[in-house]
Structure 1
Amino acid sequence: MKTSTLFLTFALALLIGCSPKKVDTKKYCDEIMQADRDFSAYSILHGKNAAFVKFAAEDVTFLSENTYPLVGLKLLEERQAKRSDSTYVLTWEPIYARAAESGELGYTYGIWELKIKADSTKNSKGTYVTFWQRQSTG
C-alpha cells in the first residue's frame, strides 16, 4: 500500500509539473494597445501617410478595398507618397488586443474616424484590425 501511494503521489506530481503553464499575456496586450494609440497620435501630428510608413515593418502587408495586397515597406512608401493626406485627419482607437504567449505577435481592432477638414458632413467611421509583430527595436 505504501508503494502504491508513493507511486501515485509521484505520478501526480509529475503530471502537474509537466502541464503547460498559463502565460499571462496582459502585459503584451497592453503594449500592443499602446503601440496602436501611439500610431494614431503620430497620424494626428504628422499625417496618415507618415504614420503608416513609420509604424510599418519591412515586410508589411497592406490591405485595402478594391486593390491587391501591397507587400513591403518600399511599395507602401511609394503608394503613400502619391496620395495627399493634407485634406483630412485619420485617427483610430483600439478597443481590444490579443497577443501570443511569446509576445511576438498580436492584433488589435477598434474604430477609425476620418475627419474631412473642409466639410465635416463628409466625415466617416469604421472598424479596423491591425496585426502586430514585435521588432528587434521593441
Structure 2
Amino acid sequence: MKTYKLGFALFLVCLIGCNGKKVNTESEGQKVMQLSRDWSKLAATDSLEKNLSYWADDAVYMFPGQPSLVGKQAIRQMVEKSMNIPGFRVSWEPISVSVSESGDMAYLLEKSQITVNDSLGKPKTEYNKAISIWKKVNGDWKNVVQMWNSNPTDK
C-alpha cells in the first residue's frame, strides 16, 4: 500500500509540475519577425548603440570569406567600420520563422541586400540569403547568431 501511495504522489507531482503554461509559438514567432523588421529599418540610421542592442553580448556574426566575429565588442567594430564605407546601406526582410516549443529559441530565414559605392562612386548592390538565430535573454529576444551569403538569383 505504501508503494501505491508513493507512486500516486509522484504521479501528482509530475502532473502538476509538467502542466506548465503552453507557449504560443506563433505569437513568439511574429514578435521575432517584427523585431527583425524593426532592426532592418533602424540599420538605415547611424544609431550604433540601438543597432547593437539587438545582439546578445555573446553573439556570433559569420559572413563570407571572413573569420567569425564573437561577442558584441567585435561586432561593434564591424558595424562602426561598415557605417564609414561610402554608400553603405543594408536592409533585410524575414521570410519565415521557427520557434522552439519552449519558446526561448527561434531562427529566421531572411533575404537581405547590401549596397556600397564602387570605385567610381556608383552604388552596387549585393543580394543575400541569411539565417539568424534568436534567444530569449532575460525575457527579451536577442540575436545570437547571424550568418549570410550571396544569393545572386534574388535580384
The separation in 1 between residues aligned to 2:130 and 2:51, in whole angstroms, is: 14
Which structure has more strand as a fraction of its residues? 2
Contact conserved, 1:40 with 1:51, CA < 8 A, in 2?
Answer: no
RMSD, matched Cα: 2.9
Larger Rg over CA atoms: 1
The separation in 1 between residues aligned to 2:51 and 2:61, in whole angstroms, is: 10
Following superposition, the deviation at residue 136 of structure 1 comes to 1.5
2:127 pairs with 1:119: no
Residue ranges of structure 1 left out of the alignment (5+ in a row): 1-16
SS in 2 for 1:59: strand
The separation in 1 between residues aligned to 2:42 and 2:101, in whole angstroms, is: 28
Residue ranges of structure 2 left out of the alignment (5+ in a row): 1-14, 141-155
The separation in 2 between residues aligned to 1:51 and 1:126, in whole angstroms, is: 23
Aligned residues with identical type, % of pairs = 22
Following superposition, the deviation at residue 50 of structure 1 comes to 5.5
1:135 pairs, out of 116, 133, 137, with 137
Aligned pairs, number: 120
Following superposition, the deviation at residue 45 of structure 1 comes to 2.5
Summarize deviations over 1:75-126 as a string: whole Å, max 9, x none: 2112333342452210000010011112111011121022346524x22211
The separation in 2 between residues aligned to 1:64 and 1:82, in whole angstroms, is: 15
Scaled by the length of structure 2, what TM-score is found?
Answer: 0.64
Which structure has more helix as a fraction of its residues? 1
